[in-house]
Amino acid sequence: MSQFLPISVVGVGLDGREGLTEKVRKIINEATVLVGSERQLSYFTSSAAKAVKLGNLEETIALIKTHQEASEKIVILTSGDPLFYGLGRLLLEHFPPNQLTFYPHLSALQIAFNRIKIPWQNATLISAHGRNTEALVKAIQRGDKKIGILTDYNNNPSAIAQLITALDLPFSYQFWVCENLEGTEESCRCLDLETVKSEQFSALNVVILLREETPIPDLETLPSLGLTDDLFLSFPDRPGLMTKREIRPLILAELGLKPEQIIWDIGAGTGAVSIEIARLFPTSHIYALEKTAMGASLIKANCQRLNVENVTVIEGSAPEKLPNSIHPQRIFIGGTGGNLTAILNHCEEQLVTGGRIVFALATLENLEEARQWLREHQWLDRILQIQISRSLPIAHLTRFSPLNPVTLLTAWRINQS
């Protein structure tokens, strides 16, 4: 079998020939066949090479192989870096590596991060070009600090802005749209989500998302109940770890709250449940117990941000750090740290007559452990299984994205209502 001439795969930017090195220009000048899109071929109209316009991939590959067998010098023009979500991967599926030589240009995302002057070595890079947005949704929900996105006609900046809004995040993103990079109409703009949703952009664009610090809320505009998740400061490494907005009102309803009560919130996390109770019942007092120093600090910070003064934060594990001389009318257990039985023993001793305990449980094992204790101690209970989905835009369609299911277990002593 004869040795084929290597096929050169050249990345080209919107600056065309001017953005190429002398070495790469020489390779293109010596080509007898140039393969590329109409835009890419337009940069080399003076070339004497046969021009092959990229179209149906299988047909184009077959044509390239025909020219290869005829010992033609073939150059394939592609955008940016051919091996970064580019044509290079597909070419490697049809040609052995020793028949391909790659000459990358700067990728669009590399240029974009440099234009906005943001280091990008720790960025999450995602292609939504001809792909679904599952990876993008996961990155956004994780709260990745820097996300670079290759877009397409359907997954365009407007669609991404709608997606972010629909996810109802506990934080916000700075939204950059970078268009026509290295072209004469280059533009890099930081825009608010509503502007992005309504504006038309060049087809040649990429999006960069930069996670922002949670802004101080305008207290005058807040609802009495149902604060959005983004109002709360959250764990930097687990930004979604809080009782979600849709779940909190159901917890408050199961607690059966009244004014001037003492409430314990065990495993308080970021303090979202405590703060909802405190704002709705300013004459009540909530003791929020959180075992982590970070969590306790977040609760204090969230109380300060939301002007809540009737929450006492206790740092430490339950039951050791639970109060012994302050008797609650209501107890909410959002986390136990593996000490469920010991916590319940302490709560039984401290809960006033007519009191109530509400558990938020994520596993069947914890549910069974709690119910076993309740049966042995002659308590009654009821269970509320909560499965909630939020609407999520997918291109021009809408689907439901489920939240993690939560089980609320409400318990009270026999012979009390």
Q: How many domains does the chain have?
A: 3
Task: Report the residue count for the chain.
Answer: 417
Output the CA torsion sign for 148, 150, 152, 155: negative
Q: Are 406 and 361 in contact (CB under 8 A)?
A: yes
**Is there a single domain that holds both residue 179 and residue 238?**
no
**Is there a single domain that holds both residue 200 and residue 308?**
no
Domain with 138 in it: 109-212
Question: Which amino acid does the sequence have at 367?
Answer: L
CA angle 39, 44, 50 (to 5 degrees): 95
DSSP H helices in 360-412: 364-376
CA distances for 193 relative to 110, 304, 321, angstroms: 23, 28, 44
**Is there a single domain that holds both residue 157 and residue 301?**
no
Structural domain contains residue 360: yes
The number of beta carbons lying within 10 Å of the beta carbon of residue 262 is 19
Give the helix/strand (H/E) hosting 273. helix 272-280
Structural domain contains residue 370: yes
SS3 27: helix
- Letter string b/e over residues 167-191, b meaning 16 or more CB atoms within 10 A of that residue's CB: bebbbbbebbbbbbbbeeebebeeb
SS3 359: strand
**Alpha-carbon span 208 to 150, nearest angstrom:** 9
**Is there a single domain that holds both residue 361 and residue 279?**
yes
Q: Virtual CA dihedral for 131, 239, 402, 209, nearest 10 degrees? A: -30
The conformational region for residue 149 under phi > 0 = left, psi -120 to 50 = alpha, else beta, is: beta
What CATH code is carried by the domain that includes residue 196?
A: 3.30.950.10
**Is there a single domain that holds both residue 345 and residue 367?**
yes
- Output the tens digit of pLDDT for each of the chain's 417 residues: 447 889 999 999 999 999 999 999 999 999 999 999 999 999 999 999 999 999 888 999 999 999 999 999 999 999 999 999 999 999 999 999 999 999 999 999 999 999 999 999 999 999 999 899 999 999 998 889 999 999 999 999 999 999 999 888 878 899 999 999 999 999 999 999 999 999 999 999 999 999 987 777 888 899 999 999 888 988 877 777 899 999 999 999 999 999 999 999 999 999 999 999 999 999 999 999 999 999 999 999 999 999 999 999 999 999 999 988 899 999 999 988 889 999 999 999 999 999 999 999 989 999 999 999 999 999 999 999 999 998 888 777 888 989 889 999 999 998 755
CA angle 148, 154, 156 (to 5 degrees): 40
DSSP H helices in 30-96: 38-42, 57-69, 87-94
Q: How far is it between the farthest Cα atoms of the chain?
A: 95
What CATH code is carried by the domain that includes residue 243?
A: 3.40.50.150
Give the helix/strand (H/E) hosting 409. strand 406-413
**Is there a single domain that holds both residue 113 and residue 99?**
no
Q: Are 163 and 393 in contact (CB under 8 A)?
A: yes
**Is there a single domain that holds both residue 73 and residue 207?**
no
Q: Are 297 and 270 in contact (CB under 8 A)?
A: no
**Is there a single domain that holds both residue 77 and residue 153?**
no
Structural domain contains residue 218: no
**Alpha-carbon span 159 to 174, nearest angstrom:** 16
**Is there a single domain that holds both residue 316 and residue 184?**
no
Structural domain contains residue 196: yes
